[in-house]
Amino acid sequence: MAGTSASREDSQSPAVRQRVGSASGGKSVQAASDSDLSHEQKWARELKVFLYVPNIIGYVRIALLLAAAFAWREAYTSLFFVSYVTSQCLDAVDGAAARRLGQVSIVGACLDQVVDRLSTCLLYVLNASVYPDFAFAFFIALFLDMGGHWVHFFAAAVVGAKSHKTMDPEVNAILSVYYRSRPVMFSAIVGFEGFFMCLLLLASPVFQASAASLSSALLVIVYVTSPLMIFKTLTNLLQGLYGARRLVACDIFGAPSS
C-alpha cells in the first residue's frame, strides 16, 4: 500500500500542480483582459459560448426529454419513444459538432454530462412508476448512476484532467476497458438504455394491446441486454469509488488550492 501510494503521489502530483499552475496563469490573463471589457462586451462573450452549436444541441436534447416525459404521461407512447431516442441520437452529434466547428467548451462538457444523467433518470423514474414492486431497485440504480458519475466527474475536475475519461495508470481493469474501448462503451450504453426502454415499453398499454409477437420481441431484448445493463451499473459504482479515491489522494498528498 505504501509503495502504491508513493507511486500515485509521484505520478499524479506533478501533473496536478502543472495543470493548476497553468490554470491559475490562464485565470490571471483572463482577469486582466476582462477588466478592459464593458459589461455588455463580457455578456456578449459569455453568450457566444452559451450559443455554441453543440450547446444548442444540448438544449434541444433537454426539450426532447421534457416532451418525452409529457408524452408518456399522456399515453402517447410513439411520441415518447421518438422524442427519447432522438435526444439520445443527438448525444453523438453534439460532440462531433464541437470538434468539427472548434466549439469545444467546458460548459458544453458539463451540459452533455447533465443531459445524459437526466436521460437515464427519466427511465429510472418512469420504470419505478409502472413497476412499483421494483421501485427500490430502480432507485438504487439511480443513486449509483447519479452518485458515481458526479463523484467521478468532480474528481476529474479537481485533479485537472482534461476529460473525465482520462484514467490514471492504476485504474480498475473494468473501468479501463470501459473508457478505453469505444466498442465496449458503445455496446454497454446501448444495451443499458435498451434494457430500461424495452422494460418500460412492455408496461405501455399500447404494446400490451398489440400483437403478442411484439411484446415477445421486447422481452427478448430485455433478456439479451440484461448482462450489458449489469456491466454498465457496475461501472457506475466503480467510477464513483475511483473518483472517491482520487479525492482522498488529493487530501493526503495536498489538494490544489482554489
Q: Quick one: pLDDT at residue 81?
A: 96
Scanning 102-211, the segments in alpha helix (DSSP H) are 106-130, 135-159, 173-180, 182-202, 205-208
Question: What type of residue is 235?
Answer: T
What's the predicted TM-score (pTM) here? 0.81
In the chain, the number of structural domains is 1
Within-domain flag for 75: yes
Sorted by sequence, the CB contacts under 8 Å of residue 58 that are 6+ apart come out as 94, 108, 111, 112, 115
Q: Is residue 13 part of a domain?
A: no
Q: How far apart are CA 199 and CA 219, in angstroms?
A: 8
Tens-digit pLDDT profile for residues 204-252: 987 777 767 788 899 999 999 999 999 999 999 999 999 999 899 888 8
Establish if 168 belongs to a structural domain.
yes
In the numeric block, the cell 443499458 is attached to 192
Please give the angle made by the CA atoms of 99, 102 and 107, to the nearest 5 degrees.
85
User: Using one digit for the tens of pLDDT, what is the confidence trace for 124-172?
Assistant: 999 999 999 999 999 999 999 999 999 999 998 888 777 777 777 677 8
| CB-based contacts of 96-99 (< 8 A; 24+ apart in sequence) | 97/53, 97/54, 97/57, 98/52, 98/53, 98/54
Q: Which of 103-107, 118-122, 128-132, 222-226 has the lowest mean pLDDT?
A: 103-107
Q: Where in the sequence is the domain holding 161, given as residue range(s)?
A: 40-253
CATH number at residue 232: 1.20.120.1760
For residue 95, is pLDDT > 70?
yes
Catalytic residues: 116
Q: What's the whole-number mean pLDDT along residues 182-191? A: 95
